[in-house]
Structure 1
Amino acid sequence: MTERMNTTEIFDGVRLPGFIHTPESLKAACSFQFQDTDILLVTFPKSGTTWMQQVLSLFFCEGHLWPIHNLPTWARMPWIEQISFDSLLSKRNTSWPRLLTSHLNAKWLSPALMKSKAKVVYMARNPKDVLVSFFHFHRIAGFLPNPSSFEDFVDEFLEGTGFFGSWFDHVKGWLSLQKDLSLLFVTYEEMHQEPRCTIRKLSEFLGRPLGPKEEDIILEHSSFSFMSQSNMVNFSLLSKEIIDQSESKFLRKGVVGNWKEYFTPEMNEKFNAVYQSKMGDSGLCLPWTMD
């Protein structure tokens, strides 16, 4: 598959890395037959996907941590739109419900989801922190172009012309379905600030009661310190050709507000203006501050 490293797929006007997507894999995702017991994690890239994959996996371990120590997150919760999906799904732990992941837009997956009672966990993050993290990911991922400059990357993000499309459309699209789907909205910020409360919210949504000891196990094994050292989580299993972590780590900082170290006052003003124009009338209650 290395010959597709520099391939770009255009799907419904959105750019996606061809190294992990094909027209066939994307079409298959849109017509995927969800089961009522499925749990689907949806995020825009760099919104805490790996963190939530780890958390959701831990919910179903029931104290038996072999999968956490021996299976990478992408095998425990494969992306339904990626080339490797069918192979990974066939090897899944059948004692668990199907734990799935996607970065795709709501309009592509919602028709299939509405035919089932599958549960959706939608995780979002302050878009400024998403942007900074995605910028660094472009620098280490061999299947994404190296950004010409941070300023150009900001412009591309605001215009929605970068890889995976518009953050604004992604968030608004999925959160508009809260009444139509069994969907729980979680943010990176609340996970960071009140992890135990977030675990309990997930517990209620998933119908998986937890005792204090089980909560502690989830919190310990989903901490940044644990995940950054685990090669089942930190993507160190992948070759340097795919993810080159020599200059920047996949799990870089795990903090809130890192964007302040990168944005100039002019960038911040421009970003806030676009954010207000696109999100101001959305009616969504989003927990982050833009200053």
Structure 2
Amino acid sequence: MTEILSLIRTHGCPSWSRAVLNSDRMPWFSTRLGLESALSYPPPRLLTCHLPRHIFPKSFSHSSAKVIYTVRNPRDVVVSYYYFSKMCNSYEDPTSFEQFLRDFLNGELPHGSWFEHVRGWMEMKDAENFFFITYEELKQDLHNSVRRLCQFLGQDLDDDAVSSVVQNASFMAMQENPMCSSILLPADIMDQTKGRFLRKGEHRGAPSQHLGDSLLSGVLPHEDSQSCLGELYHSPFGSEEQGLYNHRIIGENHRMVWVGRDL
């Protein structure tokens, strides 16, 4: 989503995305360095975080900022999160995927419960300044997703500009762009010998080499206990419309909206 919004802001021109680190284009302003970066360029600002709604600044409801909330199937999220945790030196290296999955389901990983986070933010789903989209939608029809995002943001991009956004925000293009693939990060932050930040970008939501039938059998009771997520989740670990939380903030006026949560 960082790349998509960066490209929408430049009307499809990839120069900014190819020259500036994504963490500078869309700062994680819950951190000191991220906040300094956010304040260094004029509004409208692109900001990013993983804040749960219950600690989100109350001032947001009185601002003109907009929230874009991207959700991914948790079966894919937990695999991606596992490999990310092995690479990122600020995270504890998982001892096994089985234990990591149990911790994920119990909300015992950094940033807490996925279920609670999604439940909290979906209370905003009917708000005019809230846009909900799934990772699966982005993968299946990026062109239409970009069109919808442009409409939400009030950005009038012509067909060529939209096509450029789609082309430069593709998974392959991002893998080849050092400004968004994390390869420029120092080894004490991200250990590139343990994997790739942008691994596969797939969406399966089905049994895989990690989530086989034996592990899924342990997930089913947890699914049933979380059925209160309502119409968004027909089965909290089986629907294509769900996944780990990840939301982006666009501040449209001079006053920043205070958000931030790293993952």
Instruction: Specify the TM-score bucket, using the shorter chain as the normaliser.
Output: 0.7 to 0.9
Unaligned residue ranges in structure 2 (runs of 5+):
234-238, 243-263
Residue identity opposite 1:127 in structure 2: P
Distance 2:128 2:54 in 1: 13
Question: 5 Å matches for 1:72-83?
Answer: 72-83=21-32
Q: 1:84 to 1:181 in 2, by over 3 A?
A: farther
CA RMSD of the aligned region, Å? Answer: 1.8
Kindly report which structure 2 residues correspond to 1:135-284, keeping only aligned pairs within 5 A, or say none.
135-180=82-127, 182-257=129-204, 260-278=208-226, 280-284=227-231
CA distance in 1, matches of 2:35, 2:137: 33
Deviations 1:205-242 (A, max 9, x none): 11112221011110111011110011100011111111
TM-score (norm 2): 0.84
1:9 corresponding residue in structure 2: none
Q: TM-score, normalised by structure 1?
A: 0.77
For 1:192, give the aligned amino acid: K
- 1:72 and 1:113 map into 2 onto residues whose CA distance is 27
Do 1:59 and 1:208's aligned partners in 2 also have CA atoms closer than 8 Å? yes
The Cα of 1:90 is off from its aligned counterpart by 2.6
Determine helix, strand or coil for the equivalent of 2:163.
helix
Q: Point out where structure 1 has 5 or more consecutive residues left out of the alignment.
A: 1-51
Identity of aligned residues (%): 31
Q: Report the Cα distance in structure 2 between the residues aligned to 1:106 and 1:239, rounded to whole angstroms.
A: 32
1:241 match: secondary structure: coil
Number of residue-to-residue matches in the alignment: 236
Q: Distance in 2 between matches of 1:203 and 1:275?
A: 35
CA contact (8 A) 1:137 1:250 kept: yes
**Residue 56 of structure 2: SS of its match in structure 1?**
helix
State the alpha-carbon separation in 1 of the partners of residues 241 and 149 from structure 2: 24
Paired residue for 2:259?
Answer: none
SS in 1 for 2:32: coil
Residue 269 of structure 1 and its aligned partner are, at CA, apart by 2.2
